[in-house]
Amino acid sequence: MIRGSSLSIGWVGAIALAACEAPVLPTVHLPEGGFGGASSGTDVGTGNGGSAPAGTTVGSGPTAGGAAGEGGSAGEGGAGSGVAGSAGTAGSAMGGNGGPADAGRDSGLVIDDSKTAVAVLDGWRYEYRCGYVDGHSLTDGTCSSGEICWPNASKARFSEKKMITIGGDATRVYEVDLRIRGVIEPRDYPVACTRLPQDPANTIGIAEQCDGFANQSQVTFNIYEFKVADPPHVYYLNSVAVHPPHRVDPIDMQWTIQVRGRSTITFTMDDLNGGEIRNCSIVVPGIPPAPNRFDGNFFQLNVVSAKIVP
């Protein structure tokens, strides 16, 4: 702009002449990393640093921070006596935020699968039903205490095995509190067998850790064997301390077993010489066929509690 109170008549021409004589300055292209040097002799340009992108989270864990931004290029010198611009400052790296942990990663928590692992034991039953008696019909309403019955008229020795497969994790052992209820004829097992501390004194209880068949030449009453494969342990479910007469006893008690996931329990009933003592009067409340008696021997298991063995 030209200052003054009046303008010269030839001001247009003067301006045009001045424009023609002005030097043409080169165009400066600045990089993205920073701005260049001064555009005129006395201005000093300072480069600005490029900014680094934030770190990126990949998968489930934190990644390293973003790469450092590139430094700005040194500013080009201005015309005349201009001072060269200083280099741009490098951008700082920003650490990425850590991602959430994988859902499947082992966090140290133990999921208790004990109830589902041993669910097969809850309500498991064995029934040895009378099918034949000597001298009269099973359905004639006659039942004498101590009477022997058989599965059929052949009156042959009868034995069967039932396999119980445990679920859960094969690397775990489960501790299970079981309740047993039923009606079974009693048997005195070999002296090597140990009766459980909670066994009743004068009726059937549970013996363990022996060969219950070892005295079969002397005692021909029925064997009820419950054998855990892993960790190995064997129980006998109709044990009495002394040799009994022909009778059946009710049982209602709890005991604790340990069993490995994916292993088996084998139940064996062997009547040795054929037949069983008939149940004429005992009704077990709370389980079928109550309020009626079961004509024969039977028992039912229920799971009271279960947990993983540490």
Statement: residue 50 has pLDDT above 70: no
Q: How sure is the predictor about 79, in pLDDT bands with cuts at 50, 70 and 90? A: very low
Quote the pLDDT of residue 105.
Answer: 40
pLDDT of residue 51: 44
At residue 252, the pLDDT reads 98
Is the pLDDT confidence value at 172 over 90? yes
**Of the given ranges (4-13, 154-163, 169-178), which has the lowest mean pLDDT?**
4-13
Res 266 pLDDT > 80:
yes
How many other β-carbons are positioned within 10 Å of the β-carbon of residue 59?
A: 9
The whole-number pLDDT of residue 109 equals 81
Does 14 score more than 60 pLDDT?
A: no
What's the rounded mean pLDDT across residues 271-279? 96
HEC string for the chain: CCCCCCCCCCHHHHHHHHHHHCCCCCCCCCCCCCCCCCCCCCCCCECCCCCCCCCCCECCECCCCCCCCCCCCCCCCCCCCCCCCECCCCCCCCCCCCCCCCCCCCCCCCCCCHHHHCHHHCCCEEEEECCECCCCCCCCCCCCCCCEEECCCCCCCCEEEEEEECCCCCCCEEEEEEEEEEEECCECCCCCCEECCCCCCCCCEEEECCCCCCCCCCCCCCEEEEEECCCCEEEEEEECCCCCCCCCEEEEEEEEEEEECCCEEEEEEECCCCCEECCCCCCCCCCCCCCCCCCEEEEEEEEEEEEECC
Residue range 254-263, pLDDT digits in tens: 999 999 999 9
- pLDDT band of residue 108 (cuts 50, 70, 90) is low
Q: For residue 110, name the pLDDT band (cuts at 50, 70, 90).
A: confident
